[in-house]
Amino acid sequence: MGITIEQIDNLKSLITTGSFVTKEPMARHTTFRIGGEADVFIEPSFSEVLPVITYCQEQQIPVTVIGNGSNLLVGDKGIRGVVLSIGKSMNSVSVEGNTIIAEAGALLSSVAAAAKDASLTGMEFAAGIPGSLGGAVVMNAGAYGGELKDILVDVTCLTVDGTVDTYSVEELELSYRHSLIMERPGTIVMSARLQLEPGSQEEILATMRELAGKRQEKQPLNFPSAGSTFKRPVGYFAGKLIEDAGLRGFAVGDAQVSEKHCGFVVNRGNATAAEVRELMLEVQRRVKEDSGVDIYPEVRMIGEFE
């Protein structure tokens, strides 16, 4: 392993309210249901993040930060060092007037539900996105015409040197599936503030149900996936380009271009990360050959593949 028994014991002593396991299969923590073992998997509480990061920094232990695992492909050989999961031990959500304050591990569905319960509108688009708030901020997640940048006020982040900074929505430089945080490795989203508007709870619920119906109709929710696999090229739709290249249903092992929506790569049961990556590369090659357009992964690949 890339970490010693003594280091494991020292890290474990720092976790009193969160969770701590070793040799944890990452397939349990990604919506793809794919991924080898993490040497150490920690889901810390808010106050435990800094001590863990500080110790790993001092000991030169690699740290991989993840959220809900809804946009990840983890290599079949797993992840060395520590995986720090900002999850259910950091998921508090509170409402103050028209503002929602939530920790980074809160699921978008939970934050959207809190908004609905408070009769606040503006977050309906995010109710069905299967990710955490922290991950959504990092990639400026969006759906059905809405994006996080539309409702975000500011974000509190922790860096590996122990500095706590608050970034305004303008400072985050949010654009399509991009934020400044992506360019600053070692920056961890801890919490965020969202500004919404007063609305009718009935209308909010109706919109959420309408969007859920559209997802059910158009997306392959019956198979594990990481959502949209490729970013939308300017002026095109990735799914349409993939379909036009004759790749609907194209498979490598148990990894398959969805027959329901070509923008999704799905795990039909026992797909490996290697199969998914091989399929993605072939899709990129054939789309380029067919249309001359380059498409790039939206899915983040981490860990060891070979």
Out of 228, 258, 275, 277, the active site residue is: 228
Catalytic residue from among 24, 124, 147, 298: 298
Q: Which long-range contacts (CB under 8 A, 24 or more apart) does 147-154 make?
A: 147/174, 148/174, 149/174, 150/122, 151/122, 151/123, 151/194, 151/195, 151/196, 152/192, 152/193, 152/194, 152/195, 153/99, 153/192, 153/193, 153/194, 153/195, 154/192, 154/193
Report how far residue 255's alpha carbon sits from residue 236's, in angstroms, rounded to the nearest whole number.
Answer: 24
Strands laid side by side in the 152-159 sheet? 93-96, 99-103, 187-195, 152-159, 164-168
Task: Decide if 171 is catalytic.
Answer: no
The Cα 248–Cα 240 span in angstroms is: 10
Establish whether 298 is a catalytic residue: yes
Give the residues across from 255 on adjacent strands: 252, 267
Q: Active site residue: 33, 177, 232, 277, which one?
A: 177
**Amino acid identity at 14:** L
Angle at 99 between CA 93 and CA 102, to 5 degrees: 25
* 177 catalytically annotated: yes
Q: Which helix (H) or strand (E) holds 168?
A: strand 164-168
Give the active site residues. Answer: 177, 228, 298
